Amino acid sequence: MTLLRRQLHAKIAKAKFPFGQRKTVEDILVQAVCHFRIYRNRLRKNLAPLPGKFQFRSQAQKRGPKDKKEVRMYLLSQIHYAWVRGFEAYPKINNKDYPDSPFVIFAESILLSEGVARIHTNLEEFRSYRKKQLEASGFKVVRGQVK
């Protein structure tokens, strides 16, 4: 068992995922974090994208730090998917000045370990990004859930 798998296994157990879903959720998250690390490092080094099914748009060369929004959105989408797959329920993101929901605590533990800050802002940005993408595909989204 690798270090990453061991860390994610502990976070999944702490979030109290159902026992029957823990292996599936762990596999989803290990793959997501590995891909996130690869692409984040490739953005730093400015290398060509990896071949395979996870391709991100390449952007024109600009000065300054590279935009990592798409890589963050990928990781957030996989955390969201793992939660839905594990609990079979849509994750709740709490409002500001309220105690964190179990999903926010779970996502925060993974995102902080990967160096992603401003957890609430990123989760809200992902929620609006997801809604816009689903509505563009023809789905109807009501209070975050696809109808």
Q: What are 55-87's pLDDT values in tens digits?
A: 555 555 556 556 678 899 999 999 999 999 999
38-42, 53-57, 88-92, 121-125, range with the lowest pLDDT: 53-57
DSSP bridge pairs for 142: 145
**DSSP single-letter state for residue 99:** P
Q: Establish if 58 belongs to a structural domain.
A: no
Read off the pLDDT band of 39 (50, 70, 90).
Answer: confident
Sheet strands (E) in the chain: 141-142, 145-146
Q: At what angle do helices 119-136 and 69-87 cross, to 10 degrees?
A: 80
Question: Domain tally for the chain?
Answer: 1
Q: Establish if 59 belongs to a structural domain.
A: no
